[in-house]
Structures are given as C-alpha cells and as structure tokens.
Structure 1
C-alpha cells in the first residue's frame, strides 16, 4: 500500500507540474524575446535622436555606441546602408520602417527591430538594431533550467510528503492486520486501536465488534460443552450403576430395576432438553417450561439422590409444608438446580443433607443445607473455575435461576446452606 500511495502521489504531482511548467516555459521564452526586442527598440529610438534633418542632404551621421552583442545601422530611403553595422541593403524590417512604422523580424539567427527616422512629416531613413538570437536562447535555456530545478524540487517534496502520508495511512492498517493475526492465533482479547483516520477507525470498530461477537459465541459454546458434560455425567453414572447393580444381583426384581432405569432415563432426557434450551437461549431469559408442584420435584430429587448419600453413610431428608408442596415452579429448571446443589453437597459437604421448602407469600424458598462448611467467599463461589472442582455447577445453577426470574445465593457458610428464591405467579 505504501508504494501504491507514493506512486499515485507522484503521478498526480507530475501531471500538475507538467500542466504548470509547460505554459510557464512558453511564457519564459516569450518574455525573454519580448524583452530583447524592447531593448533593441529603445536603442534604435536613442539612435534616431542622433540623426538630424540634414541627413537627407547627404551629411554624415555618427550613431551612438551599440550595446555589447548589438548592431546599429542607418539606412536611407532607398534602403542602402549609410552608417553603422549592418547588411548593405536593408531587409523586410527596414522596408516596413521606411513605410512609417516600427518593424520587427527574426531570421538567419538575428533579431531585428527597425525604426523610421522622420523629418517633419516625411520619413528620411530608418535605424536598424539587431542582435543574435543565440544570446536570447541562452537566457531562455537558463530560465528553463531554473524552472526544471524548481519542478524537481517540488517533485522531491511531493515524494517526501507522499511517503509520510503513505506511512500514516498504512500504519493503522498494518496494526489491524497484526491484530487479526493475533486473533487467528487464539488471542481473542486483541483489539484494533484508534487512529486519526475516520474511515480506518470505522473499519476497526466493525472489526472489534465482530471479534467481540465471535468471542461471545465461542465462550457460549465452551459453556454449553462444559454444562452438558457436567449435567449429564451424574444421571448417566446413576443409570449405569443402577443397571449394573441389577445385573449383579440375580435375585433382584428386574421390573423394579427397569422402572428405576426408565425414571433415570426420563430425567436424563429432561437434562438434555434443559441444557439445549440454555444453549439456544444464550444470555437472558429462557423460554418458558411447564410448571410442576414443588413437592413432586423434591420427591423426585429424593429418589435420585437418596441411594447416593446412603452409600456413603449419609442421610438426605426433605421438609416442606403441604401447601408449599403444591405451589407451581418451573419443573425442569428447578430439577437441574437441585441436581447441581445436591451434587455439590455430595462432593464438598458433610453429614446430613436437608432439603427445605418454604412459602414466603410472594416467593418460594428452597434450601439445600449440609453440616459442612464453605471456605469460599459467597461473592466468588458462583464464578466459573472457582473451587477445587470444575467450577461449573454453581455458575450454571445461578444462570438457570436467573433465567427463571429467581435468585440463588449462599445463605450460610457454617453450616453450608444454599437458598433458591423463586417468584410465585398465577397460573394462566
């Protein structure tokens, strides 16, 4: 780009200089020749003063000294040389001067000016002043050389200015190219900087907006992958363990094992739907899901997790008032939040885990508590990557709660207690 800008500037400057220099060169030539003719005419006029009226009677006339390189000559009415330096017979310029007018001519390398000499109202002769045109051409060539030097100087200045402007134009584009390469190498934090050129700044802003959007899409995709992996691992493990336990016990009731497997598979299907809904919705409110009585969700969570805690010698208890258990909540969304909180209590909590459902009038409070302690700050515990695990579950649970117009908070750290608040709406 730099070379192209310089070339364009040079072409434009060259065209402008040619359009300016050619008329100037013609004007220089005309001015120098006109100046020389004027000088010859002034010298001829000065010589006319020296010619008296007795010249026509044959008296000799002494002409003034000519300028260096000039020749002065006096001709009679027959165009014959009578005094000075010149051809024996006058040429066309002398004949026109004898006719009563100042005449100019250029031939045989000579500039000639002829001025009539009058006595009374009668022309009695003519003064011829001449000089070699080579002298004038020398001055013209020197003028043209000076004009060429000025043009070259202007062209050189144009090159310097063009190179600086090319650098100023290319620098932000080169920086934008480096930013694009950095993004291509995986640095999604790279952004194009500000320049002094409005059009390039507009491109940079569009580029930054595009990168920001792509970064959000990639982050959303990574979150979807992490959410799917985190949420599907537990139900798949439970389904696998239940089937393996049924196969290992020859006296086990296959219908009970199949019923449990069917329930777990339905929960797995709901989990997949919820993760996909979250991925399609992105950031913001999730599409509405069917409501279910809160008590049914707690009973289902108890069935899924009772055996998990019992296998480690721990208890899982549920407490709710009958009226609170009949209140409607977003079924699948709350189901996923409960799984996250119970999984967190299973891996990081201690002792008995208690699920408590409370009716607050305008909202429903669901507490998940255990007998352990939470060493992390309540303000950072919901950030992804926090803690000694994957740091995904609690962040996902808070996102699900927010999408359902609820709020999930760490209500207590010793003992650990998480509280989910869900607003109550009239069913339509």
Structure 2
C-alpha cells in the first residue's frame, strides 16, 4: 500500500508540475524575446530623436550608446550606413522601415528594431538597433534551468510528504492485518488498536465488534455442547447402572434380551456424548493416538445394531465383514459414529439394499456405505450444517460425520451419486506395528 500511495502522490505532483511548468516555460521564453525587442525599439527611438535633418549635408550625428552587446546605426534613404555600427548595406528591416513603419523582427542571427526618421512628412533615414539572438536564448535556457530545479525540488518534497502520509495510512492497516492473522490463527482475543485516521478507525471498530460477537457466539455454542454433554453423562451413567443391576437380578428369559439391548444402546449413547464433547473441547481436532477396535468387529456391531431397523422397513443390510483386514485397528467410537450416521442417512433417504464395504489401501482404509438410491442436488451442499432433504430434519448428521472424520485425520466424501455411495477414508494402525506408550507419556 505504501508504494501505491507514493506512486499516486508522485503522479499527481508530476501532472501538477507539468501543467504549471510547461506554460510558464513558454511564457518566460516569450517574455525574454519581447523584452529584448522592446529594449532595441526604445534605443532606436532614443537615437531617432537626436538625428538632425542636416545630417545629409555632412552635419555630424551623435547617437546614444548601443544596447549591451548590440549595435546601433543610422542609414540614409539609399540604405547606406552614415553613423554608428551595423551592416554597411541596408537589410530587409531597413527597407521596410523606409516605408514609414516601425519594424521589429529577426534578421539572420540578430534581433532587429528599425525606426524611421521623418522630417517634413517624409522619411529621411532609418535608425537600426540590433543584438544577437543567442544572448536571449542563453537567458531563456538559464531561466528554464532554474524552473527545472524548482520543479525537481517540488517533486522531492512531494515524495517526502507522500512517504510520510503513506506510513501514517499504512501503519494502522498493517496493524489491522496483523490482528486479522492472529484471529485466523485462533486468537479470538486480539483487538485492533485505534489510529489517527477516522476511516480506518471505523473499520477497526467494526472488526472488533464483529470479533466480539463471533467470540460470544462461539463461547455460547461451546458452553452449550459442553453443558449438554456433561448433564447427559450423569443420567446416562445412572441409567446404565440401573440396567446392569436389573440385568444381574432378573432371570426372565424374555426380559433379559430387552435389558441387554437397552444397556448396549446407553453405552452407544454415552460414546456419542463423549465424541461430541471431545469435538467441542478441541477446535484443532487432533488425531487419536491409535485404533482400539478391529475392523471386522466394528462391522459386526454395525450390522447387529442396524439390521433390525432396515428389516422393519422391508430392506436388507449387507456388511462386508469377510473383506475386512484382520490386522487393522481403528478408533471404534468415532468410526462407529460415522458409520451409524451414514447408515441412518441411507435408511431415511435411500432405498433398496444398503451395503457397507471395506477397501484396504495399505496405510489407510476406505469404508464405503451405499444404497440403491440417488443423491439429488449439489454434492458440495450435502455436508453443510443445516442442509437436509426433509422438512423435519436438522441437517446435522453428515456435517457431524465430516467433523468426526477430520478429527481422525481422514475425510468423508460422496464418491457416487447413483447409486448413492459415501466413502470414509481414515489412516489405520496394523497389528504389531504400533505399541501403546507407557502411562504418563
């Protein structure tokens, strides 16, 4: 910005100097030449009044001094030099002056003023005053040099003033840019300081107000998720304990499976709450240290959980447990949550048979969840929070699944629109290739 301000100021100064200096230079040149012609004319007039009509009969003529560096002479009607100095034979200005006119023009390399001498209404001679045109030209060049020096000085002053103004304008903007970078790096407490420029101060105040509102919004959202997760954990723990006690004390063959399923549901809900709490507490979402669940076991759990729901809708669920690598382990909690969200999405929005497959990519695993339906609309909007295909939906599921995938160091994407296929790609740990660090490290 500083360079741009200096360039703009220098351009404006150049235009102003050019608009002022060029006409002034032309005016100076015209003034010097006109002044020299006036000087010559005055000298010729002063000599003409001293010429006696008897000079033609031999009466001597006393002419005044010629202009500095010039010549002054008297010529008779035959254009012969009778007194003073000048060319011996008359030239064009003398011939024209014999007609009774005062002549001011250039003759060769001289500036000439020719004044007729009259007596009894007739011209009896001509006084010619001249000076070299080069002398006037040198004076003009000297004046132009002074004018150029003044223009250069004015431009130098303009550059200095522009640089100072550029520093005054750029410093607050640079400070505001540093605060914006600090905010982008996660420092929501950064605030822009006031400056001496009212317009920049207005931008800074707007920035600070926006940042304050954003900080408050984020704080309220994080507090809500933290409070909600904390408050849910206590009743969930109590419900788990009650179900475990009921399962231990009840021998009813019909009731025990129901209690066992309810206990598993509370365990899954507890893990979901923990994952939501972890995401709300960790804006940078660090990757978990290592996997803790075998892929085949994770797929069996998903099949057991979702098989009944799909069957109730008259649909099939196929999980490719046979293709799951036996030496790969993944974080069971977050990966199970993502698969659950994708299967629920397939159950609600898809149709036909739903399938869960696994592809081994050496250092990563790709979980493919597909059905026989098709995805409508723009794929980029699917993972936007609040986007939903139903009027009673919340549009949170796929956005939460994407956030969970990112927290694992992986990604979630739509790999096929028809049939609808979502792919979860995450890094994995092979059995025997990772050792859990000792406690405390």
Q: Same fold (TM over 0.5)?
A: yes
Partner of 2:159: 159
Task: State the partner residue of 1:249.
Answer: 249
| SS of aligned partner of 1:137 | helix
Contact 1:179/1:191 (8 A) holds in 2 = yes
CA distance in 1, matches of 2:64, 2:82: 14
Deviation per CA, 1:192-226: give whole Å up to 9, x if none: 22233333223222222221221112101210221
Measured after TM superposition, the shift of residue 251 of structure 1 is 4.7
Offset of residue 252 of structure 1: 7.7
TM-superposed CA distance for 1:62, in Å, is 3.1
How many angstroms apart in 1 are the aligned matches of 2:183 and 2:16? 44
What does 1:96-135 correspond to in 2, within 5 Å?
Answer: 96-135=96-135
The answer to which of 236-245 and 13-22 deviates more is 236-245
Residue of structure 1 equivalent to 2:324: none
Do the aligned residues in 2 keep the contact of 1:69 with 1:131 (CA within 8 Å)?
yes
Matched residue count:
272
Task: Name 2:212's counterpart in structure 1.
Answer: 212
CA displacement at 1:255 relative to structure 2: 5.2
Residue in 2 that maps onto 1:76: 76
Tell me, which stretches of 5 or more residues in structure 2 are unaligned? 277-441
- Contact 1:6 1:159 survives alignment (8 Å): yes
1:180 aligns with 2:183: no
The residue aligned with 1:284 is none
Between the aligned partners of 2:100 and 2:58, the Cα distance in structure 1 is 21
Counterpart CA distance in 1 for 2:2 and 2:109 is: 51
Structure 1 equivalent of residue 201 of structure 2? 201
1:243 CA drift (Å): 2.0
Q: What are the Cα deviations for residues 37-86 of structure 1, in whole angstroms up to 9, with x where unaligned?
A: 11111111221132111023343323223233110111111222112211
Alignment check: 8 A CA contact 1:243 1:261 kept: no
Could you state the TM-score of these two structures normalised by the residue count of structure 1? 0.58
The Cα shift of 1:96 comes to 2.1
Distance 1:244 1:259, change over 3 A: closer
Q: Residues 340-419 of structure 1 correspond to what in structure 2 (within 5 A)?
A: none
> 1:186 Cα deviation (Å)?
2.1
SS in 1 for 2:241: helix
Decide whether the 8 Å contact of 1:246 with 1:257 is kept in 2.
no
**Post-superposition offset of 1:120:** 3.4
Aligned to 1:359: none
Gaps of 5+ in 1: 277-428
Partner secondary structure for residue 175 of structure 1:
helix
Q: State the alpha-carbon separation in 2 of the partners of residues 199 and 95 from structure 1.
A: 74
Output the CA distance in 1 between the equivalents of 2:109 and 2:245: 125
Q: Deviations over 1:261-282 (max 9, x none)?
A: 989x99x99xx9xxx9xxxxxx
Q: Give the distance between the partners of 2:157 and 2:166, measured in 1 at CA.
A: 14
CA distance in 2, matches of 1:68, 1:164: 50
* Pairwise CA RMSD: 3.0
Q: Are 1:7 and 2:11 counterparts?
A: no
Partner residue, 2:43: 43
**Which structure would you say has the larger Rg?**
1
What is the deviation of 1:90? 1.7
- Separation of aligned partners in 2, 1:189 and 1:254: 59
Q: How does 1:284-299 map to 2 (within 5 A)?
A: none
> For residues 246 and 252 of structure 1, do their structure 2 counterparts lie closer, same or farther at Cα, with a shift above 3 Å needed?
farther
Displaced runs of 4+ in structure 1, greater than 4 A?
A: 250-263
Structure 2 vs 1, CA of residues 257 and 235 (structure 1 numbering), >3 Å: closer, same or farther? Answer: farther
Q: Tell me how far apart the structure 1 counterparts of residues 6 and 175 of structure 2 sit (CA, whole Å).
A: 20
Tell me if structure 1 keeps the 8 A contact 2:75–2:83: yes
State the partner residue of 2:191.
191
